[in-house]
Structure 1
């Protein structure tokens, strides 16, 4: 049996302009907006680390340097905290091993597929993960850890999926599901096809791609010669669809919760949900919410 290469690299496409959150995102990257007290990008990186991923590749755009700075050592801040005998442990997750954070620039916004392709030189000839930080995935273990565990069993390409109401499918990439693999309690399904943002009547299922992927490096060669798709952009979904039939492709149904933090409503929902679960504030937040609902 051929030993599979471990998943040690992850690509984070973070070059978007965040126009739905203007004016908040005029100078602050949307990935740095906090859910309670951690920015969105931190949740994604923590999830990657839990899954054993070591190298984080950020595909950035102009004005996104704050994302890289977040994972640097803030010497003045940490020195001040140390002098004041303040706990520094809270900053530990923001520290990166030298060489484990890499940034590449997507100079022109040509779509998600193009953003992933921009990381091709760093990914090299290895399987890799993709995280869309807008998709906040909360579970134990995390979504990517669940996917890596499945990858260890079946290899190939995997995508995370969730079921949504049928009327919402045209906003997402949708899978055409095949047979469920035995021994996985229905969590692992063959993928027969992928469609990006289909009309409701043409959607093959209500299972949407939910922002986490494990892909083989051949996808980079597919993206290199790919034409534009939905929205006039180079779509990652189209590239993956072209690979089906040439390599194993499976969907992992995530056992956890997803928050669409690319929308204002989803962002507020995530903030409230996570605040309610916090031991240091959950009771107070619940009381505050109840008071506001009464007013």
Structure 2
């Protein structure tokens, strides 16, 4: 199985530190955020890595993978314009003819085993796309939420006034190639396109939610970054190479 990891954004929530180093490579304890993701992928048998970057960051990621993960099969895809999740996904279509993992690397998960292992197991059981979800942090109206029956998704709603549940999309998913047929047909702003695409996938192919019941760490904003650091500093971690 392949994994797609979008890393092209500017990390504006983490300014000014992200002006000098991509936010995905900021260290938490003794290794970059992205290394937590890559290591979990390796542990779960992911064979190929598609990393979406903007042209200004490419050399940094080439250096990172060459030094820290020299044996991985890595393909870099360039996103010249920051048009969001759907555009980034479409750039990878040529390389994705089978179900694949998509990970937004700001998000880490601890205290309930491997989340990727759970996603892969759910995908194999159900044979369709799987959306990673966790209990929303604070006000659920700030999130994309799922309406479901026993985790079979009935609807995806973005930042609803009347939340259908407290299960929020957490940025780790498995998609079938059907997603490409769908996203090509949707129009509008990024949040609208994503919502429409998810609901079309639910309608046409079916989709399940997979809940992570441990702790969801969002490293993409300063407050949560500090909380993530404090959470992980107590974990038993191996020494890691420096950038």
* Structure-2-length-normalised TM-score: 0.90
Which of 27, 39, 45 is residue 46 of structure 1 equivalent to? 39
Cα gap change, 1:225/1:168 in structure 2, threshold over 3 Å: closer, same or farther? same
Unaligned runs of 5+ in 2: 239-243
Q: Pick from 267, 275, 295 the counterpart of residue 225 of structure 2.
A: 267
Note closer, same or farther for the CA distance 1:96–1:228 as it changes in structure 2 (3 Å cut): farther
SS at match of 1:31: helix
How many pairs align? 238
In the alignment, is the contact (CA less than 8 A) between 1:29 and 1:67 conserved in 2? no
Shift of 1:63: 2.3
Question: Which one of 197, 209, 219 corresponds to residue 159 of structure 2?
Answer: 197
For 1:26 and 1:108, locate their aligned partners in 2 and report how far apart those are by CA, in whole Å.
17
Q: Does 1:19 align with 2:12?
A: yes
Aligned to 2:141: 170
1:62: Cα distance to partner?
Answer: 3.1
Per the alignment, residue 147 of structure 1 pairs with: 119
Superposed CA offset, 1:250-269 (max 9, x none): 11111322111111111101
Q: Classify the secondary structure of the residue corresponding to 1:95.
A: coil
Structure 1's unaligned 5+ residue stretches are 1-7, 74-90, 181-188, 281-295
- C-alpha distance in 2 between matches for 1:96 and 1:198: 44
Alignment map for 1:213-228 (pairs within 5 Å) = 213-228=173-188
Does the aligned pair in 1 maintain the 2:109–2:217 contact within 8 Å? yes
Q: If you compute each CA radius of gyration, which structure gives the higher value, 1 or 2?
A: 1
- What is residue 21 of structure 2 aligned with on the other side? 28
Q: Distance in 2 between matches of 1:41 and 1:209?
A: 19
Higher relative contact order, structure no. (Cα contacts within 8 Å, ≥ 6 residues apart)? 2
Q: Distance in 2 between matches of 1:213 and 1:59?
A: 16
What's 2:128 paired with? 156
- Do the aligned residues in 2 keep the contact of 1:111 with 1:234 (CA within 8 Å)? no
Query: Helix, strand or coil: the match of 1:133?
Result: coil
